[in-house]
Structure 1
Amino acid sequence: MRTPYIPHTFGDEVHRKLRSRSGWLTAGVASSISWPSLDVCVQYAGDEYFLLGTEREGKESAPGIIIACNESSGGADEAIAKVYRFTSILSWFQGGYVDVSGYMWGSHPAIYGGRTVYSSVGSAGAKSFNCNHMPIIEDDNVRKALAFWREGKRLDEVHDGYAFLSFYKVIEPQFKDGRIRGKWIAANIDKLTDRAAKRVAELRADGVDVANHLYGSGRCAVAHASLEGEIVDPDIPADRTRLSKDLVIIEELARIYIRDELGVPDARSLHRTRDRLTPWDPLLPAASLDFLRSGQSADVSRLDSQSVSVGLWPDGPIPGLERMTMHVDAVDGGVVRTVLINERKTILLVFFLDFKSGRIHTNLEDGGLFSGEQEPDETDVRAYATFFYKVFGNGVAELRCGDLEPVDCEIVIPVNMMMTKSPDEAIADSLEAFRLRRGCPIQGQGSRDR
């Protein structure tokens, strides 16, 4: 399943985009995920989705999603269908729900002020909302499963019966034969953990066949009403309690089906499994990649002299670090130690490309400003200080090579190092210190200065 790089735009550029055309649809949403506090534009699957933040002019504001809408591309029906699909995968990816409460459309973007809905929305920082590498959903069965998952999460803690039915529908339509579905449920019950496993143990202790119980006393009892058959009677406390206890089982089975059978990763599983270096595969021969990923050394000479841009997510390249030249310093155990040097040969940055684990690590200790044929100037100081202190402050460094997708580095966890000021304050202090001593030569050929 494709999990491509997803550009995020924050700040004034978002509002410029919204002013650049006419024809928009605005959907109000109820959400349980950490929602951006300020507006953000997310480019996903060929469309731009504008997530309206929870703050506006210093006051609380309703969350929402805006998308372009015009008759030539299907009008409001097509636009809101895209929003539904986007909220389904966003709900799954972020581990909560984002559900449309209503929508409107017109020539200008607006804030949806429709009916009040239940929401437990949290608030992310100004630039901390991140759905980068969210999977692209291209299979219709997967799309439907995610829609039912979103519906189930929305109803969870609101209406147990309908939530149960929605989670069951994640699995049910995937099987034409109910017997095969029952066998799948029975085979996966023992994979459950925590509260779901505890409830399974309780049912088994009472001699209950859990798979049949979920179908007969859960799915059918909720979906059908018969005076003779089994139903979930909303006036009987025991019925409601039983269904509430069983809900966690079917929710976890639905999660397993989406994750394992349909192969849709969420943010946490993708963070563990995604090979950050895959976008750079075209830079090396297939044989070299195979050796490196198996933990062996290989010919990586094609990495030498590659032009690389160094930046920070989500802001892009750092001015002064847009054209760094890569040099291979060492190769060992599937790890390539690279040194990036700017055109003036005054800034040096070190990265470890760990092909075996699919990670890139930033080495802050070995980089720095250098004096050689040329002295670092104020642009160099600002560029290096921005990189060093932003990364030191848990920023995500990105490396771009040509038209290939950016590759992101692991967050640096400082050891025996502590920042006593914000990254922006540290950058300003570095510039001020440079200006104070700019009349004095930097000591020593090849000396470094942070």
Structure 2
Amino acid sequence: MLNLKAKPFNEVLAETPELKVNGEWLCLNIDARTAWPTKPQAFTFEGHQVWVMPLTTDNYPGLAANKPPDMGRDECFALLHRALSVLAWLQDTGAVVVHMSGGNLPRMMGMRQPFGYAIRDDFDLSDLPVIGYASGKLALALMREGRGLNHPGYSFLSFFRALETAILDGKVRGAWVTENIDRLDGHRAKDALDKLKATVQGDIGKHLRESGRHAIAHAQADPIINPDDPRDARRLEAELPIIEALAVLAIEDHLGIQTRHKAWQEHLYELRGWKSILPAAVIEASLAAEPDDIQANIDLPLINFRLRRSEPFPLLEGMMPVHVGLNNRRVELGYRSADGLAELIFWLNFAEERLEFDLNRSFNLYDDGSAAAARNCKERCRFIWDYFGNGEIQIWHADTGKLISRVDAFIPLNMMANFDGHVAELAAWDKFIANREQAEASAG
């Protein structure tokens, strides 16, 4: 069970040696619009290490980085802003930078009332999107800004600017809005669109542009948004979900940056890494009902088979490939542990874009009577407990440290967790291991 609790900032620093390294630290202090972690997290962004600074009892949360000597301060702050925009995009939320700070340590600014915030254990930072073009970075920055602002007019303008960034040509953009307005997803956007259609005759896109974007940005000709007129604020607030959803859809369609929900729907992350490892001929053969015999040189990597949020299982680190074949329109992969006493089998279903793992068939142990074999049994017991507890499989390249594949959380059905029973089972394995170790010592 998660024990989520915000701690004092100095206690967080004391528990994290990496954050006590002297340097030129730069920090973004933010007003989060989503649940924020209570512990620090390091991740790599655009080739640099960035830290998620947790929500504490006395300081703002945010992001921090120890500035490399060859990077300017503004360049480093810009890096942190871009990282924040990507995090906000993946959480479908906004974030407002309240202060920029720094020092020889990652010193976050004090917050008078650090209460009322939602908290979480961590962010899943294992598979961040790589955005290599300026328009994509700007679009996500505008989305973060629009979702973070507490002002319907300026939020509307930020979302419209994100739409403009995704589709530069005005005529093309107008035609796209007209053609795609009914594709909007989410009940807020759909409800807002239905209400708007009931009151506005003609082109919805033209209305959003002239009565929204132009009316906010200009004050020389009607229509004009008047900050003193509550009717204008109510109208913009009502139409805000529409322009936000249009901006999101345009970013997906024209810039190719998926939302978290879209990525989950397609789940391409399950097999993405294997597509660059396996020859195309093998993948194509796995899709055929009766594949032809093929000859292919396949250089399978050593892998670390892990569960997110769980400590690595030594038994499943540095596993060696021992088998690859085709089975029931799937590529079947077999891996063996370094001690040769455990074997993993899993299947790559390219037709469904799924990595298939069946605990009853996939995780096999061999008992040679040694204490090592008994320790493996305890490791398997620990793996099963964590896997049934919504474990998320991650397969990492053991040599490069790159993520090859990941699978969403396992959801057990018709099962009840028995923690006391699990603890008793681990204790029984400890006793069994001790007996074998004693027998080996006596025999030696």
TM tier, smaller: 0.7 to 0.9
More helix by share: 2
Structure 2 residue identity aligned to 1:331: L
Which of 273, 284, 289 is matched with 1:279 structurally?
Answer: 273
Structure 2, unaligned runs of 5 or more: 1-11, 440-444
Which of 71, 95, 110 is matched with 2:107 structurally?
Answer: 110
Shift, 1:22, TM fit: 1.1
> In structure 2, the residue corresponding to 1:86 is in which secondary structure?
helix
Q: Does structure 2 retain, via aligned residues, the 8 Å contact 1:324–1:343? A: yes
Shift, 1:129, TM fit: 1.9
Q: Does structure 1 retain, via aligned residues, the 8 Å contact 2:29–2:61? A: yes
Q: Which residue of structure 1 aligns with residue 124 of structure 2?
A: 130
Q: Does structure 2 retain, via aligned residues, the 8 Å contact 1:336–1:352? A: yes
Q: Residues 8-407 of structure 1 correspond to what in structure 2 (within 5 A)?
A: 15-55=16-56, 59=57, 61-69=59-67, 72-74=70-72, 76-113=73-110, 121-125=117-121, 128-155=122-149, 158-175=150-167, 177-193=169-185, 194-206=187-199, 207-226=201-220, 229-273=222-266, 274-293=268-287, 297=291, 299=294, 307-313=302-308, 317-328=312-323, 331-366=326-361, 367-372=363-368, 376-403=372-399, 405-406=402-403, 407=405
Instruction: Give me the identity figure in percent.
Output: 27
Q: Does structure 1 retain, via aligned residues, the 8 Å contact 2:25–2:66? A: yes
Q: Does structure 1 retain, via aligned residues, the 8 Å contact 2:390–2:410? A: yes
Q: What is the TM-score normalised by the length of structure 2?
A: 0.83
- The 3 A distance-change label for structure 1 pair 175 and 323 is closer
Q: Does structure 1 retain, via aligned residues, the 8 Å contact 2:371–2:437? A: no
Q: Does structure 1 retain, via aligned residues, the 8 Å contact 2:307–2:392? A: yes
Q: Does structure 1 retain, via aligned residues, the 8 Å contact 2:366–2:373? A: no
CA distance in 1, matches of 2:388, 2:196: 51
CA distance in 1, matches of 2:74, 2:111: 18
Q: CA RMSD in A?
A: 3.3
More strand by share: 1
- The 3 A distance-change label for structure 1 pair 175 and 400 is closer
> In structure 2, the residue corresponding to 1:357 is in which secondary structure?
coil
> In structure 2, the residue corresponding to 1:51 is in which secondary structure?
strand
Paired residues, number: 421
CA distance in 1, matches of 2:389, 2:295: 32
CA distance in 1, matches of 2:86, 2:19: 24
Q: Which residue of structure 2 aligns with residue 4 of structure 1?
A: none
Shift, 1:163, TM fit: 0.7
Bigger drift between 167-176 and 183-192 goes to 167-176
Deviation string for 1:315-356 (max 9, x for gaps)? Answer: 674213324333438633432344433344432333223232
Bigger drift between 257-266 and 268-277 goes to 268-277
CA distance in 2, matches of 1:134, 1:423: 38
- The 3 A distance-change label for structure 1 pair 15 and 98 is same
Q: Does structure 1 retain, via aligned residues, the 8 Å contact 2:59–2:109? A: no
Which of 414, 417, 424 is matched with 1:419 structurally?
Answer: 417
CA distance in 1, matches of 2:15, 2:283: 39
Q: Does structure 2 retain, via aligned residues, the 8 Å contact 1:304–1:328? A: no
Q: Does structure 1 retain, via aligned residues, the 8 Å contact 2:59–2:110? A: no
CA distance in 2, matches of 1:67, 1:414: 39
Shift, 1:255, TM fit: 0.9
- The 3 A distance-change label for structure 1 pair 138 and 295 is farther
Structure 2 residue identity aligned to 1:143: K
Structure 2 residue identity aligned to 1:318: F
- The 3 A distance-change label for structure 1 pair 260 and 279 is same
Deviation string for 1:234-291 (max 9, x for gaps)? Answer: 2223222222111111111111111111110122222332242232335432211222
Structure 1, unaligned runs of 5 or more: 1-10, 442-450
- The 3 A distance-change label for structure 1 pair 300 and 131 is farther
Shift, 1:419, TM fit: 2.3
Q: Does structure 1 retain, via aligned residues, the 8 Å contact 2:26–2:106? A: yes
> In structure 2, the residue corresponding to 1:398 is in which secondary structure?
strand
Structure 1 residue identity aligned to 2:409: I
Structure 1 residue identity aligned to 2:223: E
CA distance in 1, matches of 2:319, 2:194: 59
CA distance in 1, matches of 2:68, 2:277: 41
> In structure 2, the residue corresponding to 1:151 is in which secondary structure?
helix
CA distance in 1, matches of 2:227, 2:408: 51
